[in-house]
Amino acid sequence: MKAAIIGLPQSGKTTLFQALAGSAGGKDKGGLTMGSVPVPDVRVDRLTDMYRPKKTVPAVLEIVEAQAPSIGNLEKRGQGLDSAFLNMVKPMDAFLLVARAFDGEGLCEPARDVSTVIDDLVLADLMVVENRLERMDLDVRKGKTPAPPEERKALERAKELLSEGRLVHDDPELAVHPDLKGYAFLTGRPIIVVLNVADDQIGLDRDALLAGANLPVHGLPTFPCCAKVEQEIQDLPAEDRGEFMEAMGITEPVLDVVIRETYASLGLVSFLTVGEDEVRAWTIRQGTPAPRAAGTVHSDMERGFIRAEVMTYDDLMNLGSEAAVKKAGKARLEGRDYVVLDGDVIHFRFNV
């Protein structure tokens, strides 16, 4: 899973990055800050205690700070987003849009900042759609084979939405339309808005903070955090973090919130594999059938899939061992049509 941190200059993108990945967590690659963050998962910790494996591998969230000098830059308005930004965000599954709600350079207007960024994403998609539709018209005039009518219809629907300043993601059918997949629309991906508040606003009522900022985020998941303090917490030794958070009135580290919101927006769940060698969490889309889930572990497992031996994490914890789960008749053998659920502990049987 990959997420890009975006936002206006000086909104706190680097600070949020460090709050998630730790100050040492970022690798600079061609001016890009990027890093991998292990996804906190208490199930992985408890399974590790149970199996004492040689290795524990959590799921990871890959994040980049995506600089877009042209975002919100009035002089560059209408030229679209720069190609470096577009290339960087192409492989990303979701956006974390940081809006500055603390005093800094310029006015503190998070609502305006959020619309500026969203408008730029919308505009970038609209330019793609319009170019493509124009090219389709040109092809028709030249007597070339016309594009499939479904694709054209979907593009026209996208154009309609985007022209109203709305997101491709607002139309669930369009967001997953097979003919639009190749366009990789920016606004076809979840955007999670992070209201980056001042230190003295920590612990204030979350709904009141959000209502006060009055963000134009119809339906987008949104949460407040103080990136600077979160970053300071992340820099503390792990054993000191709890106490500091409590003193500050922070109930949950921002990483946990980000993970929860991205998993929910993308419809992600985790299943687990266990053994003496390795305890590991795997991230899949909700609704993934067992063979495809097996394929995330190894392509041979998908190709040679026979069955999945499935227990729930809760049964395993409550009963204390795999043997006990089996004895209680709670281990299931599932076939190709089985849809893997969050918290399934799975042994794949395969043959290649």
Ligand X SMILES: Nc1nc2c(ncn2[C@@H]2O[C@H](COP(=O)(O)OP(=O)(O)OP(=O)(O)O)[C@@H](O)[C@H]2O)c(=O)[nH]1
- Contact footprint for ligand X (CB under 6 A): 7, 9-15, 67, 102, 104, 196, 198-199, 226-228
Shorter beta-carbon distance to Mg ion: residue 33 or 283 = 33
- Tell me the C-alpha distance between 36 and 26, whole Å: 8
CB of 197 to ligand X, least distance (A): 6
The CB-of-268 to ligand X minimum distance in angstroms stands at: 26
From residue 67, alpha-carbon distances to 22, 24, 82, 209, 302 in Å are 19, 19, 10, 27, 38
Residue with tokens 């204030």: 204
Q: Taking a C-beta distance cutoff of 8 angstroms, is the pair 124, 117 a contact?
A: no
Between the alpha carbon of residue 93 and those of residues 10, 53, 185, 186, 201, the distances in Å are 23, 31, 11, 9, 30
In terms of CB distance, is 217 or 226 closer to ligand X?
226
Which residue is it, tokens 């003496």? 276
Residues 109-148 that bind Mg ion (CB under 5 A): none
Could you say which of ligand X, Mg ion, none residue 163 binds, taking C-beta under 5 to 8 angstroms by partner kind? none
The answer for residues whose C-beta is within 8 angstroms of residue 256's C-beta and 6 or more apart is 40
Q: Tell me the closest approach of the beta carbon of residue 97 to ligand X, in angstroms.
A: 11
| Piece in contact with Mg ion (CB under 5 A), picked from 9-17, 100-108, 189-197, 200-208 | 9-17
End-to-end C-alpha distance for the chain, whole angstroms: 28
The string of DSSP codes covering 326-337 is HHTT--EEE-TT
Decide which of Mg ion, ligand X, none touches 110; Cβ closer than 5 to 8 Å per partner kind.
Answer: none
**Taking a C-beta distance cutoff of 8 angstroms, is the pair 257, 224 a contact?**
no
Asked if 219 contacts 167 with a C-beta cutoff of 8 angstroms, the reply is: no
Closest approach of ligand X to the CB of residue 32, in Å: 11
* Length of the chain (residues): 352
Size of the site for Mg ion (CB under 5 A): 2
Of ligand X, Mg ion, none, which one does residue 273 interact with (CB within 5 to 8 Å by kind)?
A: none
Q: Which one of Mg ion, ligand X, none interacts with residue 12, CB within 5 to 8 A by kind? A: ligand X
Tokens representing residue 283 in the block: 């991230």
Beta bridge mates, 60: 38
Please give the Cα distance from 48 to 308 (Å, whole number): 21
Smallest separation, CB 6 to ligand X (Å): 9
Closest approach of ligand X to the CB of residue 110, in Å:
12
Identify what 102 binds: Mg ion, ligand X, none; CB under 5 to 8 Å per kind. ligand X
Nearer to ligand X, 232 or 302 (CB): 232
Residue 33's binding partner out of ligand X, Mg ion, none, with CB under 5 to 8 Å set by partner kind: none
Nearer to Mg ion, 104 or 267 (CB): 104
Contact 153, 173 (CB under 8 A): no
Among 14, 116, 187, 231, binds Mg ion (CB under 5 A): 14
CB of 11 or CB of 262, closer to ligand X: 11
Smaller CB separation from ligand X, 202 or 269: 202
Site residues (CB under 5 A) for Mg ion? Answer: 13-14
